């Protein structure tokens, strides 16, 4: 099946569309103003990450909603504050089978990387970065002194690819987009003159999530992460696969869920093994400390499974499971790893998060919590209002003044802990 091609709007076109529709209808991308997230001054669930105070600990995981600038803006507008950008790789002329995503109850997909050229991906991310700063100014959202949100790079899938010129160019531009930022700002000054006075940082990101393909050798995972820490000086998260939990425990959990997900033996054979993961974690923690950087885990990636759907092309034998079916697997893996490290690991979470389990995840110290599957279902970005309302209610019920209080009060202990079990 031939791939569909994205149609990309210029920054100028997109900004004109946004300003026109907001001024006339108080809507942006058909999202009514009532769904916009205004954090207020004394939000108890503010969250610090990489020296930035996030206006809440919720965000979007790398996926369809973080590939085009308008989707990134819509994610931020309705509440996402940790924005994991769509994963890029050196191979940027992929033929993606369509349809490639099926979201009914649990989720399945057969796509795994960006559908744009790397230069286009960077341009989309920069356009979104600029527009968010403009909307912060126009709508009075958040503080002028603090951005309140983070763009998180996501790269893969092997060290050879990451060392290629196009990926190196991308990382370097994300670290310093001064030239491109000036050009783009100059191109829209007549539409929004105030943009010249905005303090838009040319550094879009100083942090990265390493996404490795299912079956990436343990040594390769460590080599890439060490390179990102030691050479690129990036705060680095490594995304682990659900299979790290082990075949018996994972399959026992899946059997209890009632979903039809069928994980082939090869997934356990070629994925990272638990003892290898512990060695990698130890080495990367040390490397991060040596570089005065932050190292964290991202739990979890999607789960490799056999294609039992009629949605995808017939020659697609493997698909990747996400959403509520992998939620208990991801939580179990987080618990296992935190017990291994006495609750001291820094773990961000993505695996079947939704309005009613996000407060519980945050109370376990699993933050930021990023969502993909739930936002691809009916309701879309507007669901984030409910995420934040449920989080606000949980903080109020626990009389928590901040996230540390929330963790302590929920656990009924005096000292802060990150244990989830």
- Tell me the two tokens of residue 387: 């995420």
| CA 359 to each of CA 38, 73, 263, 303: distance values in angstroms, whole numbers, following the listed order | 19, 24, 29, 24
Residue written as tokens 């009514």? 32
**In this structure, what are the phi and psi dihedrals at residue 184, rounded to the nearest 5 degrees?**
-70, -40
How does strand 295-299 pair with strand 347-349? parallel
| CA 22 to each of CA 37, 89, 135: distance values in angstroms, whole numbers, following the listed order | 15, 35, 10
Q: At what angle are helices 118-139 and 11-25 packed, to 10 degrees?
A: 30
Structure confidence at residue 111 (pLDDT): 57
Q: Residue length, the chain?
A: 421
Sign of the Cα pseudo-torsion (220, 234, 200, 22, in order): positive
Spatial separation of the C-alpha atoms in residues 368 and 243, rounded to whole Å: 22
What domains lie within the chain, and their CATH numbers? 11-346 (3.20.20)
Specify the 3-state DSSP secondary structure of 28: strand
| CA 174 to each of CA 68, 198, 410: distance values in angstroms, whole numbers, following the listed order | 16, 19, 38
How does strand 82-84 pair with strand 101-103? unpaired
Flag residues of the chain having pLDDT under 50: 1-3, 416-419, 421
Radius of gyration of the chain from its Cα atoms, rounded to whole angstroms: 21
Structure confidence at residue 209 (pLDDT): 96
Structure confidence at residue 323 (pLDDT): 86
Specify the 3-state DSSP secondary structure of 394: helix
Q: At what angle are helices 118-139 and 178-188 packed, to 10 degrees?
A: 60
Q: Are the beta carbons of 373 and 17 closer than 8 angstroms?
A: no
- Tell me the two tokens of residue 418: 């990150």
- Tell me the two tokens of residue 113: 């990387």
Q: What is the pTM of this model?
A: 0.92
């Amino acid at each position: 099946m031939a791939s569909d091609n994205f149609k990309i709007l210029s920054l100028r076109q997109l900004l004109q569309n946004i300003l026109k529709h907001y001024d006339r209808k108080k809507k942006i991308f058909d999202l009514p103003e009532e769904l916009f997230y205004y954090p207020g001054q004394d939000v108890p669930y503010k969250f610090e990450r990489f020296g930035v105070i996030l206006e809440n600990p919720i965000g979007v995981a790398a996926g369809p909603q973080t590939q085009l600038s308008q989707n990134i803006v819509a994610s931020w507008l309705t509440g996402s504050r940790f924005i994991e950008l769509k994963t890029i790789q050196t191979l940027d002329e992929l033929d993606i089978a369509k349809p490639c995503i099926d979201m009914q109850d649990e989720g399945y997909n057969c796509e795994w990387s960006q559908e744009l050229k790397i230069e286009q991906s960077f341009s989309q991310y920069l356009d979104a970065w600029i527009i968010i700063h403009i909307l912060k100014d126009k709508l009075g959202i958040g503080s002028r002194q603090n951005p309140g949100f983070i763009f998180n790079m996501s790269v893969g899938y092997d060290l050879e690819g990451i060392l290629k010129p196009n990926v190196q160019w991308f990382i370097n531009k994300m670290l310093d987009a001064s030239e491109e930022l000036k050009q783009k700002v100059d191109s829209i000054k007549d539409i929004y003159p105030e943009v010249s006075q905005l303090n838009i940082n040319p550094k879009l990101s100083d942090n990265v999530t390493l996404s490795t393909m299912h079956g990436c050798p343990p040594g390769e995972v460590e080599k890439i992460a060490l390179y990102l820490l030691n050479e690129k000086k990036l705060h680095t998260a490594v995304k682990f696969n659900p299979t790290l939990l082990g075949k018996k425990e994972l399959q026992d959990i899946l059997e209890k869920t009632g979903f039809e997900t069928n994980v082939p033996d090869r997934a356990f054979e070629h994925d990272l093994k638990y003892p290898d993961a512990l060695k990698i974690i130890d080495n990367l923690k040390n490397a991060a400390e040596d570089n005065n950087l932050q190292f964290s885990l991202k739990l979890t990636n999607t789960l490799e499974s056999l294609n039992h759907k009629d949605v995808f092309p017939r020659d697609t034998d493997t698909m990747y499971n996400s959403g509520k079916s992998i939620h208990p697997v991801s939580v179990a893996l987080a618990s296992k790893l935190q017990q291994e490290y006495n609750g001291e690991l820094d773990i961000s979470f993505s695996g079947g998060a939704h309005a009613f389990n996000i407060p519980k995840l945050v109370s376990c110290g699993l933050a930021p919590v990023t969502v993909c599957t739930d936002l691809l279902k009916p309701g879309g970005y507007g669901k984030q209002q409910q995420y934040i309302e449920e989080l606000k209610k949980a903080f109020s019920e626990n009389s928590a003044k901040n996230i540390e209080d929330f963790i302590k009060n929920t656990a009924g202990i005096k000292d802060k802990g990150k244990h989830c079990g």
